[in-house]
Chains A and B, each alone.
Chain A
Amino acid sequence: MAINKDSNSYTFVFAIVLITVVGTILALLAMGLKPMQAKNDEVKKKLDVLSALMTPKEMETIDRSNAAEIFEKYVNLEDALVLDAAGKVKEGLKAFDIDIRREYKDKKLQEADRNYPLFIAKKDGKTFYIIPMIGKGLWGPIWGNVCLAEDMKTIQGASFGHQGETPGLGAEISQPFFVNRWIGEQISDESNEFSKFEIVKDGSGAAMPSRVDGITGGTITSVGVQEMANRCLKVYVSYFNNL
């Protein structure tokens, strides 16, 4: 049986069959794997929070298998708060369920209506405040967690992540050398005013508070981190000032 493969009808039928088959496979796969992916995302969120709280040395013993257990040990989700853009506590919301990434992406949601979760952790008898952040890099979203010490000012730990920044350039924001540049910086000055962060190119970041050295070749991602930190951390400073 000869089929004219150049005929319009054959082309249409082939295209329809192909997209139906491929579409079905992809849809079934995505549906079937969704519960596992959601669980992985939840563990990842806990890992991100922990990596800001724990020292790099302690993080070496934490992976996906024990992240949930260690998270529960240090972070009490009952204490966690949700703030509004003015830094006031919002009641009746669960901090861990707030998806700041979805809210950030939601164009219909005004910036003033976004929720700002705050996790409170107890470690070695001290209280730590962990602030999740979300922003935009060169190719996609970037995120981070900042852990403040008991004085609610000094950055005691941080972690950054990204979806698809350029490997070796912008992607370096998640590397320890960049994260370490944030440790010891202060989010507010002596008069408790929010101090704006600046990512600098001249290497002066190490010596000056609220100045951080950027990454060579990763300028746009570095600027994205700066914008993210300034926009997100500001809200929490007004909350801490009203305590």
Chain B
Amino acid sequence: MTTPNQQNPADAMLSFWKDAWARMGVGAAPAGAPVGTGPAASPFPGASGADPMAWMPSPEMVRRMQAAFLDAMASSAEQYMRSPQFLESVRHSIESATEMRRQMEELVRRNMGDAMKPPGQAGAEVLAALTEIESRLSARLDQLEALLRSRGAGSGQGRPADSAGSDAATAPDGAPRPRRTGRGRDA
């Protein structure tokens, strides 16, 4: 049992072949006669009795059969492309194509994002290297500070000139200097 929207595929196939054979004029041939030998179809009327190759369709007949077959195919294709089944498949194809496009764009975007940032291990290494540099700089600054203090004490001037501003550092023009926020590892 089928509804108009659930047509049996065999019906469409049967209808196509019936149409094709009808267009080829097979119905005009006597029952049991070979294809293309019907009186209306023969390109050599009257010659079939004398022609030893009369069983064979002529090129013209083949061409006519071909044309009839294509006519039937064109008509079936037109009918099919208007059918609810085809329209439904168009809808699905478009949905699939747009979804695939969306997923591809998402994939490209994610990959691009990953490509822009360093991988986890490299990040840790970079951070460790920066921390190491910071430690060495801080240690060097401590050494310099100690050196200055010792020289200041030796010359009897007390604290070195710039160490007074180490907590409220100011530039010669009065603008605040960037403050060192820590020494060594914070973590």
Whether A associates with B in a native complex is no
Q: Name A's B-contacting residues (CB within 8 A).
A: none
